[in-house]
Chains A and B, each alone.
Chain A
C-alpha cells in the first residue's frame, strides 16, 4: 500500500493551460522515487500540489491525491493543511531563503511539533537537539540559538533536513535539495538525506534534473515531459535500458559518472518533435474522453 498515491492529477493555469497532464505516481513507505525531467517539466508542481502550496495562478482541476489512503481534496482547506503538516514535509531547494531570517533556528525546528502536533515545548526542544546531532551538527545547543544568517548554506540545509524529519513524517518531498550548494557539500547532503530516509523508513519523493544523482539515491523513477508522465520504471531497469526514446535521449544527455568530461549529446530535435506529438495526441484523447 503506497503512502502517497497520485491518481490522474491535472493542474492547469487559470487560462486553461495545462501544467500537469493526468499524472499518476505512487511512493511506498521506505521507497525513494526520483522525479526527473527538464526544467519546466512540472516536477516542482507535483510536489506543490501534494503539499497544498500550488501558486495562486494554478488550480487542481482533476484527479486525486491520496495521503495514507485519505483523499486530500475532500478535506477543508484548514484540515488539509494540518493533515499535510502532520504527515508530510518538504526539504526545500534553497537553504538560504527557506529559513525565516528574523527567527532563531531552534523554534523553526520545534514549531510544527508544538503548534501543530501539540507537543510540550521541552520535549520538542529535546527532540530538536537529537535531530541536530543526527544530521551531524556540532554543538547543537549553540545552533538552536543562532540566527540563520550566522550559519553556512550546508549547515542551514542540515537544519532544514532535521526540521523535515522532526515530526516523523511518513512522506518527505525533496525538491532539488542540493542544487543551491557547493559540489562538495552536495555530496554530503545527498548522503545525509539517504541516511536519514533509511533510518526513519520514510517515503521520499526526490525531485531532480540530475540523472547522476538518481542512481545514488532512488529505487524507482518517473520521467516527466511537459507535465506528462513519459516513463515510470525502476532505476535499475532505467539505467539498463530506458524504454522511451525521450528517456534514452535524456540519459545520453547526462554526463557519465565514469567520464564526467565526456562529450554529451543534447536531446535531438527529432526526439523532441516526437514527444511533443505524443503529448498533443494524449491531450486529444483526454479531451475526447477515449483515454483508457
Chain B
C-alpha cells in the first residue's frame, strides 16, 4: 500500500516536473532572438510567403495558444514535425536517443569503476605513497572539464598515437545492418565482436572524456566516507575476528560509506548527460546532443522542444533510479 502511494506521488511529481520543463523551454526559445522562418526562406522573400509559412507551423498564433496546441498534441503522442528535417520529432528523438544513452551509460560505468576502484585502493593503502599518488591523479582529473579532456584525448589517442576513431559512432565501411539503434547492445547480443570492437573504438574516447571528471568526484567523496567508516567500532570488531583489511573495506565499510556517493552519482549523472551535448559535437557522435546543437542553430522549435522534453524525462528517471537504489541499500529506510 505504502509502495503504491509512494509510486503515485512520484509519478505526479514527475509529470509536474516535465510540465514545468515544457513551459520553460517553450517560452525561452520563443523569447531569444532569431526565428526559424527567416532561416528557411531565401533572403528577400515576400511578406506573404513569410506569413504563409508562419501559419503552416502555427507560429502566427499567440504564444499561449501555441503552447496549448503543442501540449495537447504532445499528450496525444504527437510532438510535431521538425522544421529543418521535415520528419516527425518523435521519430527523430527516439532514433537518436539510444546513441546518447549508450554513450552516457558507458561513461557512467567507466567513472564508477575507475573512481570506485581508486577510492577502495586509496583506503586500503591509506597514509602511504599509493594514497598520495591517487590523490594527485584525482586532482589532475578534476582540473579540466569534460570537453577539454575530450580535446586532450583527441590529441593524444587520435592524432599523436592514433589508437581510436575520433569521429562518428561506427565505421560505415563495416556495412553492418542493425535492426535497433542500440548498436552496442545489439552487436553484443548478436556476438558480433568485430562490430563491438569498432563501436568501442568510437565510443571509448568521448565516454572517457565524460567519465574522467566524474571518476575523480566519485573517488574523493567515496574515499572520504570510507575513511570515516574505518574508525567505526564494527570495523575494529571485524579486525579482532580475523578478517583481512581488504575484505573489511569491501564488506563492512563500503555498504555503509556508499550512500552519499550514490546520491552524488545521481546528480552528477544528469550533468554528464548534459555534457554529452558538447562531447557528441566534438566527436561528431550521432546522438541527441549533436542533433540538439543543430536544432538550436536552425531555430528548429519543435525539435528543440522534443529534445528538451526527452532530456527532462531522462533526468527524472535517473533521480527515480537513485532513490530506489538508496532505499534498497539502506536498511533503515527499508523498514520506515
Cβ A102 vs Cβ B233 within 8 A: no
| A147 interface hit (Cβ, 8 Å) | yes
**Residue among A86, A88, A90, A160 with the most chain B CB within 10 A?**
A90
Q: A97-B232, A98-B233 are in contact. Are A81 and B239 (CB under 8 A)?
A: yes
Interface residue count for B (Cβ, 8 Å)? Answer: 22
Q: Please give the distance in Å from B262's CB to the nearest CB on chain A.
A: 13
Contacts beyond the supplied A81-B243, A102-B330, A103-B255: 11 A-B pairs with Cβ under 8 Å = A51-B239, A53-B236, A97-B233, A100-B234, A100-B238, A100-B252, A101-B256, A111-B241, A112-B242, A115-B243, A147-B335
Which A residues, 137 to 159, have Cβ-Cβ distances below 8 Å to chain B? 147, 149-150
Q: Which residues of A line the B interface, CB within 8 A?
A: 51-53, 56, 78, 81-86, 88-90, 92, 94, 97-103, 111-112, 115-116, 147, 149-150, 160
Cβ B233 vs Cβ A92 within 8 A: yes
Which B residues, 144 to 194, have Cβ-Cβ distances below 8 Å to chain A? none
Number of A-B contacts (CB under 8 A): 70
A242 CA to B237 CA, complexed, in Å: 35
Cβ A89 vs Cβ B240 within 8 A: yes
Q: A98-B234, A99-B234 are in contact. Are A85 and B335 (CB under 8 A)?
A: no
Cβ B332 vs Cβ A101 within 8 A: yes
| B127 interface hit (Cβ, 8 Å) | yes
A147 CA to B237 CA, complexed, in Å: 17
Closest to B252 in A: A100
In the complex, 8 of the A-B residue pairs with CB atoms within 8 angstroms, ordered by the A residue number, are: A78-B244, A92-B236, A97-B234, A101-B332, A102-B331, A115-B243, A147-B331, A150-B335
Sort A-B residue pairs by CB-CB distance and give the 4 closest, nearest first.
Answer: A85-B242, A116-B242, A97-B233, A100-B234
Cβ A85 vs Cβ B241 within 8 A: yes
Q: Which residues of B contact A82 (CB under 8 A)?
A: 242
Q: Which residue from B127, B240, B247, B255 sits with its C-beta under 8 Å from A85?
A: B240
Q: Please give the distance in Å from B130's CB to the nearest CB on chain A.
A: 16
The proximity string for B residues 55-83 relative to A, scoring 1 for CB distances below 8 Å and 0 otherwise, is: 00000000000000000000000000000
Q: Which residues of A contact B127 (CB under 8 A)?
A: 56
Which B residues, 221 to 260, have Cβ-Cβ distances below 8 Å to chain A? 232-234, 236-244, 247, 252, 255-256
A150 CA to B334 CA, complexed, in Å: 12
Cβ B332 vs Cβ A90 within 8 A: no
A53 CA to B248 CA, complexed, in Å: 14
A230 CA to B67 CA, complexed, in Å: 87
Cβ B239 vs Cβ A53 within 8 A: yes
Q: Which residues of B contact A51 (CB under 8 A)?
A: 239-240
Q: Which residues of A contact B247 (CB under 8 A)?
A: 115
Q: Which residues of B contact A92 (CB under 8 A)?
A: 233, 236-237
Cβ B233 vs Cβ A149 within 8 A: no
Q: Which residues of A contact B329 (CB under 8 A)?
A: 102
Q: Please give the distance in Å from A94's CB to the nearest CB on chain B.
A: 6
